[in-house]
Amino acid sequence: MAGAVKFDELALQYVLSDEPEQAKSAAETAASIIEASANNRVLVGQWVSSINRWMPSGNSGEDGLVDNGEGQDDDFISRAKALDFLASTLGALKRDTLKADQVQLLISFFCSLFSSDHKAGITASAKALRQLTSMKMFKPPMGNDIIEGVCKLGDDFKLQTPATRLEIYQLVLGLLQDPSVANDLEYRHGSTCGFMTGLLDLCRNERDPNNLIKWFGTLKTFLQTFSPSPEVTSEVFKTFSAYFPISLRASATPSGITADDLKGAVRACFSAHHRLAGQAIPFLIGKLDQGDAVTVTVKVDILQTLDACLNQYTHPKQSVIPYADQIWSSLKYEVRNGEVSDTVEATLKAISSLTRRLDEDDLRSFFNNAWRDLAEDISSPTYTAQAGRLLVAIVGASVNSFSMITPALSHIQTTIKTSKSATHRRDLLALLNSILLVRSHLVSNEGVSQSLENPLKDQLFGDSLFFDVHLPLWKEIPTSYTPAEQVEMLSKVMEGLATLVGQQSYGAEPRRLLSDSTCAHIFNLLSEPSITYPLKGERFIGTNLPAVDEQLRDSASSALKKAVPLYPQGFQQLLLQYLASILRPRGYEQGEAEVIMKDIGNLSLPNTAEYQQLLVGLLAASIVRVLDEDEQKALQIDQEAFVFFRGDDQTTDGTRLREEILGRATGFSPLHEYRIAPLSMGILQGLFPGALNHDYHVDALRCLSRTLTSIPSPCPDMTRAALDTIWAILSNKFVIKGDDRKSEWLALQEEIKTAFTKIWNSDKNSASEITGAVRVFRSILHFLSGDIVRFQTDPKMNSVLRLVCDDAPSNPAMGRQLARNLGLLLSPKECLQRENHAVRKRLGEAWIYHQAVQPHLGKCFPGPTGDGSSTVRGQQEQDAVSRAVATFTLLRHARYEHYADDVAQIVRVAIRSLGTLEFRGAEMESCLVVLVGILEKDPEALKDHLAGLTRGLIKVYTEAKGLGAGRRDEALSPRDANSLNMCRKLVLDFFQKLPVIYEAHSLLPYRNQLLRPLSLSCGDPVREIRRTALAARQAWENLA
């Protein structure tokens, strides 16, 4: 009896407990007692009997299981918890504790509750049965008993709570997923699947999203696991198809299930087994053919479901082929007459899936049927684009389908030649380009077919295609059509040329289909609008419309970016083309690369826009970076890049050092104000560090040090920006290994420190001198930005960084101007991204914070005033403000995690700075960016400062709006004007976020103070700021 008393106490403890952990402990204790017994048969009976006081009838048999009748006990909650005690104990019990007869008895007990205790026993019973199915002695026939018990719920099932029904769904799904249970059910019921008929009747009205996911999963499992008769299959299909198309209504208690989750679950039912094809495919096609009655969202759902069926049904001869023509007849109109891209894309995907499931005679029959429709449409300007997309979906589906391209390709080429319509030819060229693209995809991604010989028709996609189609059009188009039509057609031709360069043969060892001479011809053509004509100052198609030439230049540049990785030898050709275009005519023969390089010192640039120079540099970067390191070394791209650094040096007797041009780069060429720099920048940006010659590298760094620390600046601003970027690149990619290289780096830093010292004493009354000094300082920051992302911990290697961070903001003449620029150390730079092979260390940003910001946070406040004079106090205040400027211009580019430990001090600096920073130089903007970031990441850090922040930010908005309206006499640069707008928006962003982040009681003291300023800000002259202001005001008005 001691055991029974113990179980009674534990059951009572479980029922009365309000703490989950206490209840869990009671269940685990009960499980431990049962496990510890040598003969637990009696103990199990006592354990079950421990809940009798809460059951409708207290009578129990010898086994402890109660005789369930229709009792009058109304304490449903206690009874439910008592039953849950049994379920939780089973959950804690070791899986091998119970014997087979005990498992059977417990299953019988809990199943009996489905017909006798609809109000209290269902959830716990389902939970307990799930635990019993995982017991070691659970036998497959018991699964049938459980399903029969569940089905006894009948109409009471829908009266259960969604959570209770979910337990049952999980129980049933788990049983069907158990192979041994599934085999027993299959043996017991055969194709009639009587157990499933009961479940269909029980669950067919389910509406809860979580439960539907499980129910659809159960139906899918049933279809994939069992072999039901056609009648049962039809009933199952009717059950899930009744939900199609499924949607999800907004609910006050979101379930976490999305509409896409439900669509995916229903879709999995449709595609579960090929025996559904005879019902599913006609059903979906019928839905699709309802026309305007179907919304876009529903149409996409239908098409995606059809695509899933076509992809997943096995035995395509039975499940797909009988419906192929019906599917084509319906789907072709979705593209031919389609206007919504989502629908068109989903249709094309389904057609490709259909094509992939066909082979041999069936594929040939389908293609011929489709081609009869498409050939006529391709000949019509109205439908060419749509027919082209359908054709590409079919031939691009597989190698087998592409093997039928010959008649289509011939028809396209003939139509291109005979058509007189510009739009028709443009669409035909676009179609031809798409065919080339899908062919490239098939070559690289499909396995080699053993059954077909030359399925991708190599002979049709080589030199003959270029000379038959592309070259004649290149010659014809500039002499025909309007400028706009010429641009459209030439852009398509150039796109096609780039793709044609990459065509390879099909087979185990692919080779390029175009000859080298044809590739060179294509590169010559593409370089004309992108390089040759712009540098000559001439127009490619002879119009007076700059926009037309710019479009052609962009299209040609884009084509070259794609073509060079496919034919790397073309890069050298491009460089020679570029150099030949800017050198004085000297009668060079083709291929005299060395002569051209040796005459680099005689550059004579025409009056070309700086933008074009920069464009060429960016083009070079995009081309170079896709080459691997070995290819870069083989092409000696680093040497060619450094040759551009060659100066116009002469010996004492006036002889040019021509021999050194290809041997050793000794300096930048100052000719034409360094306008060659953007090209060098682009090439160096894309190089791997290992592809850079060390000697050239060191000389270039020193040359840049001399050039960029010179006052006045020897080049225009855009060119100088390219030189700054080059300095950052070379600084980053300088590999410091061994004492020699370390000595070279230290010597370079000494040169830079000397230059920094020289600008330190600039005359504050000389505007030009200060401007030049700041420009030099920015260049030094670029050098450091490349260095710090692959930082070195040795203090000696960071002497320039230490000098800049420690001293720059405190310079008496220009400390504040220098501080404004310190953000360059951390601001994102494309040249230092990993895609450009920059050397980056994972902790670089955290390291620079601890070097450049953290040690100086205390300096953002003036020191003790003491007995100092007003001049001393003024200097202290100036230094503190400059240091705050430096702090925020750096922090705006830092991650919060790097400065989280110091956030309290940073917040105090920010609050003070709201009254001391200027709107010039993005000072205030940087501070506000940091404050908004802290609010989002760690609102508790600001909670005690809301009063000061509210006052300060209201003042910032008012000042910024006044300056933007021209209330001050001071002229503002475009950058500063934009910063004013950003400041106003950031203030309003901050106020808008407060009600979302903080509880209402924390904000109510500031509500009245803020409502009027927020109302006034709704009249801001900038639309985006007005939108933010309206949202902020609404949030504060709704504050309860």
Lowest mean pLDDT across 232-236, 353-357, 936-940: 936-940
Tell me the pLDDT band of 688, cut-offs 50, 70 and 90: very high
Residue 463 in tokens: 């030199």
Task: Give residue-wise pLDDT tens across range 338-383.
Answer: 888 999 999 999 999 999 999 989 999 999 999 999 999 999 999 9
Which one has a higher pLDDT value, 739 or 135?
135
Neighbours of 14 (CB within 10 A): 25
Task: Return contacts of 965-972, CB within 8 angstroms, 24+ apart.
Answer: 965/1021, 972/920
* pLDDT of 28 over the 60 cut: yes
Which one has a higher pLDDT value, 968 or 487?
487
Instruction: Report the pLDDT value the prediction gives residue 672, as an integer from 0 to 100.
Output: 44
Helix (H, G, I), strand (E, B) or coil at 60: strand
H or E segment to which residue 739 belongs: helix 738-760
DSSP letter (8 states) at residue 855: G
Number of H helices, E strands in the chain: 51, 0
* pLDDT of 535 over the 80 cut: no
Task: Give residue-wise pLDDT tens across range 860-881.
Answer: 998 776 556 677 788 889 999 9
Residue 830 backbone phi and psi in degrees, to 5: -60, -35
The gap between the terminal CA atoms of the chain, to the nearest Å, is 60
* pLDDT of 408 over the 50 cut: yes
Nearest-10 Cα torsion for 229, 232, 238, 239: -140
Lowest mean pLDDT across 10-24, 38-52, 576-590, 921-935: 576-590
Q: Cα separation of 657 and 647, whole Å?
A: 10
Q: Cα separation of 511 and 504, whole Å?
A: 5
Instruction: Report the pLDDT value the prediction gives residue 667, as an integer from 0 to 100.
Output: 45
Tell me the pLDDT band of 588, cut-offs 50, 70 and 90: very low
Angle 785-789-794 from CA coordinates, rounded to 5°: 100
* pLDDT of 600 over the 70 cut: no
Neighbours of 684 (CB within 10 A): 29
Q: What is the average pLDDT across 672-697?
A: 80
CA–centroid distance for 131 within its chain: 42
Instruction: Report the pLDDT value the prediction gives residue 346, as an integer from 0 to 100.
Output: 96
Instruction: Report the pLDDT value the prediction gives residue 674, as an integer from 0 to 100.
Output: 63
Nearest-10 Cα torsion for 315, 316, 319, 321: -150
Query: Is 972 within 8 Å of 963 (Cβ atoms)?
Result: yes
Task: Give residue-wise pLDDT tens across range 955-996.
Answer: 999 998 888 776 554 566 777 788 899 999 999 999 999 998
Instruction: Report the pLDDT value the prediction gives residue 252, as an integer from 0 to 100.
Output: 53
Q: What is the average pLDDT across 486-514?
A: 92
Tell me the pLDDT band of 62, cut-offs 50, 70 and 90: very low
Helix (H, G, I), strand (E, B) or coil at 382: coil
Q: What percent of the chain has pLDDT over 70?
A: 87
Q: Cα separation of 727 and 713, whole Å?
A: 15
Lowest mean pLDDT across 486-495, 988-997, 1017-1026: 1017-1026
Q: Cα separation of 337 and 343, whole Å?
A: 11
Instruction: Report the pLDDT value the prediction gives residue 121, as an integer from 0 to 100.
Output: 81
Instruction: Report the pLDDT value the prediction gives residue 1, as an integer from 0 to 100.
Output: 46
Query: Is 132 within 8 Å of 106 (Cβ atoms)?
Result: yes
| Residue carrying the six token digits 């010192």 | 601
H or E segment to which residue 39 belongs: none
Instruction: Report the pLDDT value the prediction gives residue 970, as an integer from 0 to 100.
Output: 57
DSSP letter (8 states) at residue 650: B
Average pLDDT across the chain, whole number: 85
Tell me the pLDDT band of 766, cut-offs 50, 70 and 90: confident
Instruction: Report the pLDDT value the prediction gives residue 679, as an integer from 0 to 100.
Output: 77
| Residue carrying the six token digits 């959950």 | 91
Residue 514 in tokens: 């175009």
Tell me the pLDDT band of 163, cut-offs 50, 70 and 90: very high
Calculate helix-pair angle for 296-312, 341-356, nearest 10 degrees. Answer: 10
Tell me the pLDDT band of 66, cut-offs 50, 70 and 90: very low
Tell me the pLDDT band of 652, cut-offs 50, 70 and 90: very low
Lowest mean pLDDT across 214-228, 410-424, 835-849, 931-945: 835-849
Q: What percent of the chain has pLDDT over 90?
A: 53
Query: Is 704 within 8 Å of 730 (Cβ atoms)?
Result: yes
Lowest mean pLDDT across 533-547, 548-562, 802-816: 533-547
